[in-house]
Amino acid sequence: MSIELGKFNQLEVVKEVDFGVYLDGGEEGEILLPTRYVPEDCKIGDFLNVFLYLDMDERLIATTLTPLVQVGQFACLEVSWVNQYGAFLNWGLMKDLFVPFREQKMKMQVGRKYVVHAHVDEESYRIVASAKVERYLSKEKPEYAPGAEVNILIWQKTDLGFKAIIDDMYSGLLYENEIFCPLETGMEMKAFVKQVREDGKVDLILQKPGFEKIDDFSKTLLDYIKEHGGRINLNDKSPAEDIYDTFGVSKKTFKKGVGDLYKKRLITLHEDGIVLADS
């Protein structure tokens, strides 16, 4: 059996001690799970899902806490402190995540957040992070079909819009003229693939393709109003953020859909919302 450092592992409880339980780490030997993380009614022979990392003395240790990032993933983390060797990020565990100076694009500052990639350093066998995220993005051409829903992490602002990391693997771009809600580095959200270019670059959009067509969204809006008792509290003066949170579309698309339903006399417009015409 081999264990994976910096990830969750299913390990068997093999020994109980006053300060916790020991888990079977295979070739790595027994691994301590401290008392504060041991589930109630835990007994020898149970299998626990635990995250493995190194403690202050560089010994393997287990926890049932879920860190903010695992090995192989990207995340936006805050700097807790710095010293002469680098910066230390809060990733939700007792021991902070180390970023050597050589892995920083600019000198990291306490209290600021940075998008980083977590990995195991081959030389020291320590979990470290790097702000040079381009190095860890796949160079392969993605196989996404247009319209595919993906998870993204907003990475950085550019002249064209915002770069985003797609599914912890690929780089994508949201164009400025297609963004209709406030974005900032570190935000995680759903997005949709607009197209995968021949060079492998991915263009993203925040609303599902098809909703750009008025007829498609008009039906969605009408169904939503019907499902909510014939009335909603949104109208064409509502904040774009509220509209996006509810429907996942821009205010422009929403207003066109409202206008379409109004012309068809399916709805009536009020200062406090929209009502079905026959309600």
Residue 100, by phi and psi: left (phi above 0), alpha (psi -120 to 50) or beta? beta
pLDDT at 9 over 80: yes
For 151-196, how does the pLDDT look when each residue is reduced to its tens digit (9 = 90+)? 999 999 999 999 999 999 999 999 998 887 789 999 999 999 999 9
Q: Where are the domains of the chain?
A: 5-61, 71-133, 146-203, 209-274
For 99-142, how does the pLDDT look when each residue is reduced to its tens digit (9 = 90+)? 999 999 999 999 999 999 999 998 889 999 999 999 999 999 99
Q: How many residues does the chain have?
A: 279
Q: What is the pLDDT of residue 68?
A: 98
Q: What is the pLDDT of residue 141?
A: 94
57's CB contacts (< 8 A; 6+ apart) are none
Q: What is the pLDDT of residue 182?
A: 85
Residue 19's beta-bridge partner residues? none
Same fold, 5-61 and 146-203: yes
Task: Please give the average per-residue pLDDT across 224-239, as a whole number.
Answer: 89
Q: What is the pLDDT of residue 175?
A: 94
Q: Which CATH superfamily is domain 5-61 in?
A: Nucleic acid-binding proteins (2.40.50.140)
For 57-90, how does the pLDDT look when each residue is reduced to its tens digit (9 = 90+)? 999 999 999 999 999 999 999 999 999 999 999 9
- 209-274 domain in CATH 1.10.10.10? yes
CA distances from 274 to 70, 211, 238, 239 (A): 45, 19, 11, 15
Rounded to two decimals, what is the model's pTM? 0.77
CATH annotation of 71-133: 2.40.50.140
Average pLDDT, the chain: 92
Tell me which long-range contacts 174-180 makes (C-beta under 8 A, separation of at least 24). 174/204, 174/205, 174/206, 175/203, 178/205, 178/206, 179/206, 180/206, 180/207, 180/240, 180/244, 180/250, 180/251, 180/252
Q: What is the pLDDT of residue 180?
A: 76
Q: What class, spelled out in words, does domain 146-203 have in CATH?
A: mainly beta
Query: Residue 261: helix, strand or coil by DSSP?
Result: helix
Q: What are phi and psi of 193, to 5 degrees?
A: -80, 120
| Total Cβ atoms within 10 A of residue 144 | 20
* C-alpha neighbours within 13 Å on the C-beta side of residue 160: 8
For 16-39, how does the pLDDT look when each residue is reduced to its tens digit (9 = 90+)? 999 999 999 999 999 999 999 999
278's CB contacts (< 8 A; 6+ apart) are none
Rounded CA separation 170/140 (Å): 8
- Confidence class for position 244, pLDDT limits 50, 70, 90: confident
Rounded CA separation 5/2 (Å): 10
CA distances from 167 to 68, 141, 153, 188 (A): 15, 14, 8, 11
